[in-house]
Structure 1
Amino acid sequence: MLAAVLGLLGAPMVRSPREGEWRTWAAVSALTMFDDDAGTTIANVLRMQAGGDLPELPVSDPVEEAAAHLARDTFVALLPPVGERSMGSALSPASISRNPWSVRFQEAVLADSDLGQLFTGPPETDAGSFSFMSTTGHGEGGVQLALLGERILSTPAAICRAHQATPTQFVAAGIGAVSHMRRLVIAGRTVRAPALLGFDGISVPPETHVDTPWGHLRAVTAGERELTGTFPGSGNAVLEVEYPVKLYIGHDAAFGSVDSRAVEAMRAARADLEERARMIALAVLLAEDVPLPAGVGLRYTLIEDPFGWMPAISGRIDAGPRGAVELSAEQVAAVGEWLVLLEGRHHGSMSVAVRRTLSAHERFDSTDAFIDALIAWDGVFGARSGDAVTFRVALGFALVLGGTEPERREIKRRAQELYALRSDLVHGSIPELPWKEAGEHREQAVRLLMQALRVLYRDHPRLLSSQDRTGDLVLRLGADPCE
């Protein structure tokens, strides 16, 4: 056996001096070859000869048993680093199709009382199948039975490789993949798949673990960063959440067609992810004044797609430089305190203000960011109807931030001047601001906005649900009774 392995590993493709992954893939392909006499792969034979053991496998469910065998036999493919092909299937070099348990998996699926109804034809063919569209954003005109095993194991394989999982953990993930498939395909139910939301430039200490109402905040691991390829920015902060994956089966499979039900469900799920990321970013901004432009927004998402060929990874890649936001342990603690306040005090009427607050921090163009900040002003102190918007907004800032009459008059004057400049820009009286002047006005508008938001969330929580915050401030309504 050892001589045969050495011969395989000495093949020209493996020994090739060519840089890249082909040498590694060729070696993995050799190690995952099935030895009929041993009843397992060459890698597993070597493991046992070296004194190791193999994970125990279930035998009660034929589909789970076959999937577990495939996971155990292909684990060696997860050991090499991701390399340049991070977006491809982790099992591509393992040649699942040549493993006899692949055919047994297909036979078990066809024999299954539920799964077998979805496929017709012998296992050595593609077999008839079903079309679907997923809330992760992908859809297919048909699912090939011959590739079904690799399909459901590919995402667990990528995640297990990123987390440096053990063979036992990968086998357990393979069994779980069958359970997810039954839930999605047979029961038509939703799977709450783990997901990561990666922030652009926010960095936290490696030991950070903060449970929030919107997810678990921590630092990304090296394996996860490698898995997401070119999407991550300079930051390391991620939010662990769940994403509702549902398959809409049998939609019109015509080229370019989509299932409106899936699209609507996906939009709702994506909107929820974005809202979660916004609340974390808002807490960071409330805790710290950051350099502008700041990389506080959502940069990428990674969803552990249970019925995809790989995790569903999406993100933005842009050239606009944004400042890094590096948080110390003490600053992370302050962010956590603001998150507690936001959980109990944030109100939906502040949503537009929060959106524009974040874009005012993130935008590279200072004029656009300045206008966003002033829209956020409207969202905080404007009213649903009525005149004198400038007066209302400026007065709101003065009442919230001014401690004395001279201070209130000065804040009101500054706010009116900035609001007038915004009106001139929006209505075309001023075509464009010089970049330096735009940056200065942006800085003033953003800092004034953040001061007001801190006071409102900390000292005037009842005003957050008001439809006329300025009016309530004037009349002393909505303020805490203890003031």
Structure 2
Amino acid sequence: MDNYLTETYGRPFLDYVLATSNHGHINDLTDGQKATLKLLHNVAEAVDTEDGKDLRRVHIIHRISGYLPEHNCSVAALLRMQSGGEIPEPHHGDPLVDCMWRLARDAWPSFLIPQDENWPAFFGAMGALTFTHPAGNEAWNRILQDDSLKKLFPEYSDDPDSRGEVTEIQSSVLTSAGRGGTFQLVSLPDLILSHARMRQLIQNELSFESFLSAVAAIIADWRRLAIGRQARTPVLVGFAGITLEREVNLPQGRLRKRSEADRLLFGRQPGLGREVSVVLETTHAFKILKVAPAKEMLSNNGMTNIWKGLESKFEESRKQLDHDIDMVRFSVLMASEPTSPMAMAVVSRAMLDMTQHGSSFGTHAVSFAPYGDVHIDSARAEKIEHWAREVKDKHPGKLTLGARRLVSAVSTRTDPLDGLIDAIICWENMVGTDMETSFRVCGALACLLEPESGEERTKRFKELKSLYDTRSKLVHGSREPSYIEAQEYRSQAVGYALRAMQQLYRFPDLLSEPESAVRGTKILLTYDLSIKGSRQR
């Protein structure tokens, strides 16, 4: 096949419109297939001569997805039939889903055209189809007649004769993701199709049948959102610092190798330092917090006032997502050996905001790794799965600060002294007190780390006290140690913090103690930490 056409349209698209298997090469083309290839070649050449070549893919999609009334299908669908293929007639039973499936059938080929490999995916180019296809017009009407979805446009009647031009039907929305603005009825079918495709990419289920399933699932989510309920929206988090032998199943989702589809959602991130090696595939609670007439938010201070009233909700949602990600990183760290921490640094993050085209995308420029990459073999993966369940079931909120600081000490602190300070904050979060801090923190940690031997306990206390005193002198302006010394201090402080946190999980009543000072006192005075078990002396 012509390399020019393959590079322009991609093999999946060509296989679809030529009605061929995606295995092997095409021989003995029929007259219909030859006609299809000629038309595609003409379209590609026409686009190449236009201005704005950065929008080449959009121009191509507009040409091949346009609706042909005389054939009751898109250009791409007609090409498939011309090549000898069949066009499916999917049926669901829900009137809105059925008309969206007709749109999905004709839009499907457009989603197969390759994306720009350097930037996150954007699928908001279906307007040539949704604005001209009869199923698009039916979808708008079905939305306004739907008991749930019509709440997205409270100003407008479900009577087609009394609501005015459909292109003027809009509202303003604000979501728990902290995003919002004008929301148009005519954009909703396009959003449903594009987000269905993105969910396909995330789940790596790329068949036409899975696309239809994703469309139905997106519609169900929109119905929940429209009546004020929450939906779970996909989130991808790209990490550096570990590599995987196999998928790791966690309460929050799954850790997996980076896939080719992730490239479309994250982009290449040129110049941002460390590359994504592992992806967390999870979900996050997503909710529409406010629906209002567009003119209300566009009025003087309208958006500002509403935004201020919802700031606490935005912050709550952001903190919950950050917490979920931190607990995944913490679980992996807890499965580490103290001398070889598995340190995951966040490189990229993408959340699918269903009210927007594309994803809410962010990057973190991580160019330095305090610890080297660690390969997670099957045995380590099993250990991570164990610790993830332990953390999910047992980790107390009062120790979240310590967990977060321990994670940052091993993954993001480029200055080893910052890592040392973070690790000792973790010590204090576990067993800290307002009085006699140095002695009590180091004494409690020594008991926790060396419960079997008084001699070892004394030795450990001295080591801990030396590190604690170094931290105290630093924050009060003493001369900084050399870089090599600082690295060693960090490694020691991190190792002790990690071992102590692992030990606490052996004793659930100590772990759940709400006050660090009380926990420290129990460890020092009343608790038997020996290998025989947890009991008070």
Question: In structure 2, what is the equivalent of residue 214 of structure 1?
Answer: 252
1:130 is paired with a residue of what secondary structure?
strand
Question: In structure 1, what is the equivalent of residue 521 of structure 2?
Answer: 471
Which of these residues, 459, 462, 477, is aligned with residue 509 of structure 2? 462
1:191-241 C-alpha deviation (Å, 9 max, x unpaired)? 122333333323222x3142x333333334320243122468432141423
* Shift in CA distance, 218/234, structure 1 to aligned 2, threshold 3 Å: closer
Structure 1 residue 464: Cα displacement = 1.4
2:280 is paired with a residue of what secondary structure?
strand
Residue 481 (str. 1) matches residue 521 (str. 2): no
Contact kept? 1:394, 1:416, Cα under 8 Å? yes
Which of these residues, 146, 151, 167, is aligned with residue 208 of structure 2? 167
Question: In structure 2, what is the equivalent of residue 228 of structure 1?
Answer: 266
Residue 342 (str. 1) matches residue 391 (str. 2): yes
Distance in 2 (alpha carbons) for counterparts of 1:307 and 1:420: 52
Structure 1 residue 388: Cα displacement = 1.0
Question: In structure 2, what is the equivalent of residue 238 of structure 1?
Answer: 280
Question: In structure 2, what is the equivalent of residue 356 of structure 1?
Answer: 405
Residue 145 (str. 1) matches residue 185 (str. 2): yes
Which of these residues, 155, 159, 178, is aligned with residue 195 of structure 2? 155
Distance in 2 (alpha carbons) for counterparts of 1:23 and 1:308: 22
1:428 is paired with a residue of what secondary structure?
coil
Contact kept? 2:333, 2:343, Cα under 8 Å? no
* Shift in CA distance, 177/424, structure 1 to aligned 2, threshold 3 Å: same
1:63-92 C-alpha deviation (Å, 9 max, x unpaired)? 433322222111112112322464352242
Contact kept? 1:321, 1:364, Cα under 8 Å? yes
Residue 101 (str. 1) matches residue 135 (str. 2): yes
Structure 1 residue 54: Cα displacement = 3.2
Distance in 2 (alpha carbons) for counterparts of 1:228 and 1:269: 22
* Unaligned residue ranges in structure 2 (runs of 5+): 1-31
Question: In structure 2, what is the equivalent of residue 317 of structure 1?
Answer: 365
Superposed, 1:278-297 pairs within 5 Å as 278-289=326-337, 295-297=343-345
Distance in 2 (alpha carbons) for counterparts of 1:340 and 1:180: 28
Residue 380 (str. 1) matches residue 430 (str. 2): yes
Question: In structure 1, what is the equivalent of residue 29 of structure 2?
Answer: none
Residue 440 (str. 1) matches residue 493 (str. 2): no
Structure 1 residue 356: Cα displacement = 1.1
Distance in 1 (alpha carbons) for counterparts of 2:163 and 2:339: 63
Residue 6 (str. 1) matches residue 38 (str. 2): yes
Contact kept? 1:134, 1:262, Cα under 8 Å? no
Distance in 2 (alpha carbons) for counterparts of 1:166 and 1:145: 28
Structure 1 residue 472: Cα displacement = 0.9
Contact kept? 1:200, 1:298, Cα under 8 Å? yes
| Higher mean C-alpha displacement, 37-46 vs 265-274 | 265-274
1:126 is paired with a residue of what secondary structure?
helix
Identity of counterpart residues, as a percentage?
A: 25
* Unaligned residue ranges in structure 1 (runs of 5+): none
Structure 1 residue 368: Cα displacement = 1.0
Residue 135 (str. 1) matches residue 183 (str. 2): no
Aligned residues, how many? 475
1:84-114 C-alpha deviation (Å, 9 max, x unpaired)? 4643522426623343433333344455566
1:177-200 C-alpha deviation (Å, 9 max, x unpaired)? 333333222x12211223333333
1:131 is paired with a residue of what secondary structure?
strand
The amino acid of 1:451's aligned partner reads R
Residue 176 (str. 1) matches residue 217 (str. 2): yes
Distance in 2 (alpha carbons) for counterparts of 1:290 and 1:54: 59
Which of these residues, 70, 86, 94, is aligned with residue 53 of structure 1? 86
Distance in 2 (alpha carbons) for counterparts of 1:241 and 1:181: 16
Contact kept? 2:342, 2:373, Cα under 8 Å? yes
The amino acid of 1:66's aligned partner reads C
* Shift in CA distance, 441/190, structure 1 to aligned 2, threshold 3 Å: same
Distance in 2 (alpha carbons) for counterparts of 1:8 and 1:474: 78
The amino acid of 1:481's aligned partner reads R
Distance in 2 (alpha carbons) for counterparts of 1:407 and 1:4: 80
CA RMSD of aligned residues (A): 3.3
Which of these residues, 181, 186, 199, is aligned with residue 239 of structure 2? 199
2:356 is paired with a residue of what secondary structure?
coil
* Shift in CA distance, 213/24, structure 1 to aligned 2, threshold 3 Å: closer
Question: In structure 2, what is the equivalent of residue 393 of structure 1?
Answer: 441
Distance in 2 (alpha carbons) for counterparts of 1:256 and 1:317: 32
Distance in 2 (alpha carbons) for counterparts of 1:4 and 1:203: 44
Contact kept? 1:248, 1:261, Cα under 8 Å? no
1:174 is paired with a residue of what secondary structure?
helix
The amino acid of 2:329's aligned partner reads A
| Higher mean C-alpha displacement, 162-171 vs 441-450 | 162-171
Structure 1 residue 305: Cα displacement = 2.6
1:301-359 C-alpha deviation (Å, 9 max, x unpaired)? 33333322123333423444453232111111111222233344322222121111111
1:338 is paired with a residue of what secondary structure?
helix
1:285 is paired with a residue of what secondary structure?
helix
Contact kept? 1:129, 1:143, Cα under 8 Å? yes
* Shift in CA distance, 56/169, structure 1 to aligned 2, threshold 3 Å: farther
Question: In structure 1, what is the equivalent of residue 21 of structure 2?
Answer: none
| Higher mean C-alpha displacement, 330-339 vs 235-244 | 235-244
Contact kept? 1:360, 1:370, Cα under 8 Å? yes
The amino acid of 2:254's aligned partner reads H
Which of these residues, 70, 83, 96, is aligned with residue 37 of structure 1? 70
1:83 is paired with a residue of what secondary structure?
coil
Give the TM-score normalised by structure 2: 0.78
Distance in 2 (alpha carbons) for counterparts of 1:290 and 1:455: 12
2:323 is paired with a residue of what secondary structure?
helix
Distance in 2 (alpha carbons) for counterparts of 1:139 and 1:34: 31
1:437 is paired with a residue of what secondary structure?
helix
Question: In structure 1, what is the equivalent of residue 16 of structure 2?
Answer: none
Question: In structure 2, what is the equivalent of residue 249 of structure 1?
Answer: 291
Residue 303 (str. 1) matches residue 351 (str. 2): yes
Distance in 1 (alpha carbons) for counterparts of 2:477 and 2:398: 29
Contact kept? 1:197, 1:241, Cα under 8 Å? no
The amino acid of 2:355's aligned partner reads F
* Shift in CA distance, 77/433, structure 1 to aligned 2, threshold 3 Å: farther
Contact kept? 1:135, 1:244, Cα under 8 Å? yes
